[in-house]
Amino acid sequence: MGHVLAVVCPGQGSQTPGMLSPWLELPGTTDLLDSFSAAAGCDLTLHGTTSDAETIRDTAVAQPLIVSASLLALRAILDGRPTTDVVDVTAGHSVGELAAAAVAGVLDDAGAVGLVSHRGRAMADAAASTPSGMSAVVGGDPDEVLAAIEAAGLFPANVNGGGQVVAAGDNERLATLAENPPARTRVIPLPVAGAFHTPFMDAARTSFEKVATTWLATDPRLALLSNADGADYSGLGEGAHGHGRSTDVLARLTAQVTAPVRWDRCQETLAERGVTGILELAPGGVLTGLAKRALKGVESVAVKSPDDVEAARDLIARHSAVGAAA
């Protein structure tokens, strides 16, 4: 039986205070994080070690911090090996798509952090202009949940699979949904600052587009799945390496600011590709949790600290098809 390794990158809300502290004990990580801070235009070392939960909840801080954590973990795990020697397919959830784009070689690491910083600031500005939020709706019948979200005047911002949909929109309407949840569901407010992936972010998309469409990028070097439909980019054009074109990736990353995250479809594609191992980069846990419900039998490792590096390397050694073929 063949093996296929997927590397997945978590989204906003996965950050926790002090999450970068243990990584800074590894050789070379301080310099790498310094380069990320320069690209982001903010002190990511400070935010990743001593800033409190409220500070790193700020969208403008959270987004570059999460992408930096994912890429610090990736480089520590690979220890100099190129991703194309290890990773068969990659995907990221929401802001994690920027980290996944770096995994796929579309962006270099500092470029991904720099670009996501523009995204984070644009979305923070949009969120500040009109109060809004997001809540996870867990359980229930998927069709009934989507109908209830629409009936409440809200948007299904993330369709995550595994019995989880994230509703987004006006805070009062979110409170009403929580008071009258769909049958057999729990409604859980999320620690984010606005209704991302909805029309509430129109101004952010317009602002981010001006930056993203001219950002330095190269065609993907391995299969990169899109939040838009779960498919890889090769269907939009083969590109230089047969995995799609950078222009399409940047266009989708821009549209994603106001478009729903279809993580359910990303997981369906992983299943269709016969993925046998899932490595979730730091700050890991959410996506492997979803995978355990939607991709039963697929082995996974969630990287939360350097203590997980050896388990990640072991997963790679046993599941990387491209690595086995090298």
Q: Which amino acid is at 312?
A: A
pLDDT of residue 191: 78
Helix 59-78 and helix 96-103, axial crossing angle in degrees, nearest 10: 30
- Token pair in block for residue 219: 């065609």
pLDDT tens figures, 172-184: 999 999 999 999 9
Which helix (H) or strand (E) segment holds residue 150: the answer is helix 142-151
Enumerate the H helices of 21-82 as residue ranges. 29-40, 44-49, 53-57, 59-78
In the numeric block, the tokens 């296929």 are attached to 4
Known active-site residue 319: no
226/158 Cα distance (integer angstroms): 13
First and final C-alpha spacing in the chain: 18
Partnered with residue 89 across adjacent β-strands are 6, 223
170: helix, strand or coil: coil
Structure tokens at 126: 């949009």
**Nearest residue to 253 via CA among 284, 290, 217:** 217
98 near 104, Cβ under 8 Å?
no
CB 48 within 8 A of CB 19: yes
**What digits encode the pLDDT tens for the residues 228-256?**
999 999 999 999 999 999 999 999 999 99
Residue 107, by phi and psi: left (phi above 0), alpha (psi -120 to 50) or beta? beta
The predicted pLDDT at position 1 comes to 52
Residue 87: closest CA among 214, 282, 277, 305: 277
pLDDT at 2: 82
Backbone dihedral angles phi then psi of residue 90, each to the nearest 5 degrees = -135, 155
Whether 146 contacts 122, CB under 8 Å:
no
Question: Facing residues of 280 across strands?
Answer: 8, 302
Q: Which residues in 245-257 are b (16+ Cβ under 10 Å) and which e? A: bbebbbebbbebb
Can you give the pLDDT at residue 41? 97
326 pLDDT higher than 70? no
**Overall residue count recorded for the chain in this entry:** 326
Q: What is the strand order of the sheet 277-280 is part of? A: 223-224, 89-92, 5-9, 277-280, 299-302
How far apart (Å, rounded) are the C-alpha atoms in residues 195 and 324?
43
Cβ atoms of 190 and 57 within 8 Å: the answer is: no
The residue with tokens 């479809």 is: 265
Q: Are 6 and 88 in contact (CB under 8 A)?
A: yes
Percent of the chain beyond pLDDT 70? 99
What pLDDT does 279 receive? 98
Distance set, CA 44 to CA 21, 56, 103, 141, 299 (Å): 11, 10, 20, 41, 32
- pTM of the predicted model, to two decimals? 0.96
Catalytic residue among 93, 118, 197, 243: 197
- How much is the mean pLDDT over the chain? 96
Q: 226 catalytic, yes or no? A: no
Catalytic residue of the set 68, 70, 94, 132: 94
Chain centroid, CA 193 distance in Å: 16
Q: Distance between CA atoms of 162 and 111, rounded to whole angstroms?
A: 33
**Domains along the sequence of the chain with CATH:** 5-128+199-325 (3.40.366.10), 132-189 (3.30.70.250)
What digits encode the pLDDT tens for the residues 29-65?
Answer: 999 999 999 999 999 999 999 999 999 999 999 999 9
Count CB neighbours of 49 within 10 A: 17
